[in-house]
Structure 1
Amino acid sequence: MTTTAQTAEGARPRRITLSRVADEAGVSVATASKVINGRGGVGEETRRLIEEIADRLGYVSVGERERPVRGKREPLIELVSDTFLNPYTLLLLSGAVTAAENAESAIVTRQLSAIARQTPLKWAQRLALGGRIGVIEVTSQFSAERERALRKVGLPVVLVDPIEVPRMSLVSVGATNWAGGLEATQHLIELGHSNIAYIGGPRGAACDVARTHGYQAAMQQASLHIDLTEVIHGPFTFEHGLTAGLQVLSRPTPPTAIFAASDVTAMGVMEAARTLGISIPGQLSIVGFDNTMLAHTSSPRLTTIHQPVEEIGQTAVQTVHTLARGEVLPSKRVELATHLVIRDSTAPLKRNE
């Protein structure tokens, strides 16, 4: 496991306090407390003002929230994802559930589309009131507005390989994507391939940028031609792999090897090759990324970069618990090591006699 050398002091959430509500309303903390706790002795106009300010700031009182890090209630962690239909997310969820069970807590899952139906602040308040101790985001795009809302209610958030590189005060967990891209491409070069295409993930995604640069570094180290404008980017889906695979393999000089940004994308590339009558690995070698169950159940079995997805899920859960206890992390960014797993989808280049 590799980490940065920074501390994560800024990653601890700074929730909105009763004192902040009182200051903005121009009243004493005692008066604000009466309103928040439903007691009398406060004029109706002042009461409405305090309630409006508390609602706008996202204030959740200690009495209202159920934050049982060490209490009798079971601590809950919200895990938000774009979808739970792909092997990567399911594997990560498996690791998260295991870690939660070990910590005597539980995972609550939610799709990102469900959050979009309410304001980030209302969502964050509901989580705080519902016993959440933190949030894990496995989403296509980091939202600064969601992060600010969680900070207001005092809930930590841990990102798993977000599409953007977030600001440095946030905590994120992922894999050594650059090293994985480098090793995948080096493997194909060592097999004699020189015309190697990369079919990428979402454009601008931090993990895809790193994998692209790893691919680029391996090609340049071998003095091989590379044109990054030819890289086709898209979601980590079978459909993207199929569409991009058909396009790349229909070029006047098609590649003899393809590095795909994910296993599910590699499955789409395999289908494209079958559609065009191209044999794997006889005429085309393919390497994926993730090492999900697809890799060892495909035909042929997929050579891929293993990233410890379950361990990433476990680490994210452990990190949420650490932050919820108010402890300082040694690092804001945790990267877990990748490695190549060679199976049947790659083979030495066949030279024309």
Structure 2
Amino acid sequence: MGERTATLAEIAGEAGVSVPTVSRVLNGRPGISEKTRVEVERLLELRGYERRKPRRETPLIDFVTVGLETQWSLQLLRGAQAEAARAGADFVVTATEGLPAGAPDWLERLRSRGSDGIVVVVSELEQDAREELSRLQVPVVLIDPVGTDTESYVTVAAADWLGARDATQHLLDLGHERIGFVTGPLHLECHADRLDGYYSALGRRGISRNPDLVRVGDSLVAGGETFGGELLDLEERPTAILSGSDEQAYGIYLAARNRGLSIPEDLSVVGFDDVDLARWVSPQLTTVHQPLTGMAATATRLVLALSRGEEVSNRRVQLASELVVRDSTAPPRAVASPNPEPTKVTHSPV
């Protein structure tokens, strides 16, 4: 059996140069010494590296997301498409429906159409797909990456930990102490960070972690209705609930109303993301604003730069979050202080 084809990273390691340097050699770009160019070309030939098709005049970007049924996904798609249009790039969308990205048929289509880069939204890349993408010399940028095995990729995220901490702090400042949390799927870094931020705010007030007040949801309306309902059916129910997404928060609204509870008089609710739904529901939803269109635009801009063989100075981009206080939060009934005026708390990238 023949030797396995080398990946781009392996060629770079053997040559003692960076991956972007190898990319420049492959694309015939200037700025590389003749000695380095000759050595990289020698290793590419020796290891049987599979070169991509010649670059088209119009770059092509693949945008891979878990689905297109949520406002969260659509705002990301909107940002990525707008940036691709601004850059004069073509744009292809793939929905994985929650499955890991990298099915063989998708990889074959990727190879045949000669995509210049891929933006992947909270979807796990299978190991075989990672190796194949490396051999195809296709740069990948992750939005809200899955897990911690992302060191080899450029990633774009928001200040999830700070956002959840500020949301919980807002509820604590209103006088709530029994605060529930319906998270999103915890295998996603963004939701794990939000849970940590929630626990941090409670700990700073001397409130112990109570696993009875936490449910792992699915970020969808149905999850909010189911798991929010479980919290509201506790013998000592929470007076406030933080949700891992706005759509899930709407499910909590439904669960509360099904039990004859009013928002915010009987229950305060805080969402996450600040999609259009947050302003459509009644009462309007207090939530953590995530710069979703900006995150997707940034990821698209970065993947286009990588496809041109450019160096990326910051491989871990984190954008600011804002707590937007609207009408769904108020002091618990036992606290007489008035409902505060709407405010925003902004966090710069860290």
1:145 corresponding residue in structure 2:
128
Deviations 1:15-55 (A, max 9, x none): 8999678646xxxxxxxxxxxxxxxxxxxxxxxxxxxxx7x
> Matches of residues 78-117 of structure 1 in structure 2 within 5 Å?
78-112=62-96
Evaluate the alpha carbon distance shift between residue 310 and residue 19 of structure 1 in structure 2; reply closer, same or farther with a 3 A threshold: same
Deviations 1:32-82 (A, max 9, x none): xxxxxxxxxxxxxxxxxxxxxx7xx7x2x45xx1523xx3xx211001111
Evaluate the alpha carbon distance shift between residue 208 and residue 119 of structure 1 in structure 2; reply closer, same or farther with a 3 A threshold: closer
**Aligned-residue RMSD, C-alpha:** 2.6
2:233 corresponding residue in structure 1:
250
2:176 corresponding residue in structure 1:
193
What is the identity percentage for the equivalent residue pairs of Structure 1 and Structure 2? 35
Evaluate the alpha carbon distance shift between residue 209 and residue 262 of structure 1 in structure 2; reply closer, same or farther with a 3 A threshold: same
Evaluate the alpha carbon distance shift between residue 14 and residue 280 of structure 1 in structure 2; reply closer, same or farther with a 3 A threshold: farther
- Is residue 326 from structure 1 mapped to residue 314 from structure 2 by the alignment? no
- Is residue 169 from structure 1 mapped to residue 152 from structure 2 by the alignment? yes
- Is residue 236 from structure 1 mapped to residue 219 from structure 2 by the alignment? yes
The one-letter amino acid of 1:143's match is: E
- Is residue 268 from structure 1 mapped to residue 256 from structure 2 by the alignment? no
- Is residue 67 from structure 1 mapped to residue 55 from structure 2 by the alignment? yes
Evaluate the alpha carbon distance shift between residue 13 and residue 153 of structure 1 in structure 2; reply closer, same or farther with a 3 A threshold: farther
1:42 corresponding residue in structure 2:
none
> Matches of residues 50-65 of structure 1 in structure 2 within 5 Å?
59=50, 61-62=51-52, 65=53
1:123, distance to aligned residue in structure 2 (A): 3.5
Secondary structure at the counterpart of residue 304 of structure 1:
strand
In structure 1, list runs of 5 or more residues that go unmatched: 1-8, 25-53
Distance, in Å, in 2 between the alignment partners of 1:80 and 1:117 is: 8
Evaluate the alpha carbon distance shift between residue 230 and residue 343 of structure 1 in structure 2; reply closer, same or farther with a 3 A threshold: closer
Deviations 1:157-199 (A, max 9, x none): 0111023123312111010000001010011011110000111
Asked whether the equivalents of residues 179 and 213 of structure 2 are also in contact (C-alpha less than 8 Å), the reply is no
Asked whether the equivalents of residues 307 and 338 of structure 1 are also in contact (C-alpha less than 8 Å), the reply is yes
Evaluate the alpha carbon distance shift between residue 11 and residue 335 of structure 1 in structure 2; reply closer, same or farther with a 3 A threshold: farther
Asked whether the equivalents of residues 133 and 321 of structure 1 are also in contact (C-alpha less than 8 Å), the reply is yes
1:147, distance to aligned residue in structure 2 (A): 2.2
1:236, distance to aligned residue in structure 2 (A): 1.3
Distance, in Å, in 2 between the alignment partners of 1:111 and 1:171 is: 21
Asked whether the equivalents of residues 177 and 338 of structure 1 are also in contact (C-alpha less than 8 Å), the reply is yes
In structure 2, list runs of 5 or more residues that go unmatched: 1-16, 27-39, 337-350
Question: Which of 143, 166, 173 in structure 2 is aligned with 1:183?
Answer: 166
TM-score by length of 2: 0.80
Question: Which of 103, 110, 115 in structure 2 is aligned with 1:132?
Answer: 115
TM-score by length of 1: 0.79
Distance, in Å, in 2 between the alignment partners of 1:352 and 1:311 is: 39
Secondary structure at the counterpart of residue 232 of structure 1:
strand
Deviations 1:203-228 (A, max 9, x none): 22100111011101110111123224
Asked whether the equivalents of residues 291 and 306 of structure 1 are also in contact (C-alpha less than 8 Å), the reply is yes
Evaluate the alpha carbon distance shift between residue 159 and residue 101 of structure 1 in structure 2; reply closer, same or farther with a 3 A threshold: same
Could you tell which deviates more after superposition, 229-238 or 272-281? 229-238
The one-letter amino acid of 1:76's match is: L
Could you tell which deviates more after superposition, 233-242 or 176-185? 233-242
Evaluate the alpha carbon distance shift between residue 251 and residue 280 of structure 1 in structure 2; reply closer, same or farther with a 3 A threshold: same
1:299, distance to aligned residue in structure 2 (A): 1.1
Misfit runs of 4+, over 6 Å: 13-21, 114-118
Deviations 1:224-283 (A, max 9, x none): 232246421132111111110110000010000001001011011111001111100000
Higher relative contact order (CA 8 A, sep 6+): 1
Secondary structure at the counterpart of residue 116 of structure 2:
strand
Secondary structure at the counterpart of residue 68 of structure 2:
coil
1:150, distance to aligned residue in structure 2 (A): 1.0
2:142 corresponding residue in structure 1:
159
Deviations 1:270-328 (A, max 9, x none): 11001111100000000000000010001111000001000001001100111011111
2:200 corresponding residue in structure 1:
217
Evaluate the alpha carbon distance shift between residue 276 and residue 77 of structure 1 in structure 2; reply closer, same or farther with a 3 A threshold: same
Secondary structure at the counterpart of residue 132 of structure 1:
coil
Deviations 1:67-107 (A, max 9, x none): 23xx3xx2110011110111111001111111111101122
1:139, distance to aligned residue in structure 2 (A): 3.4
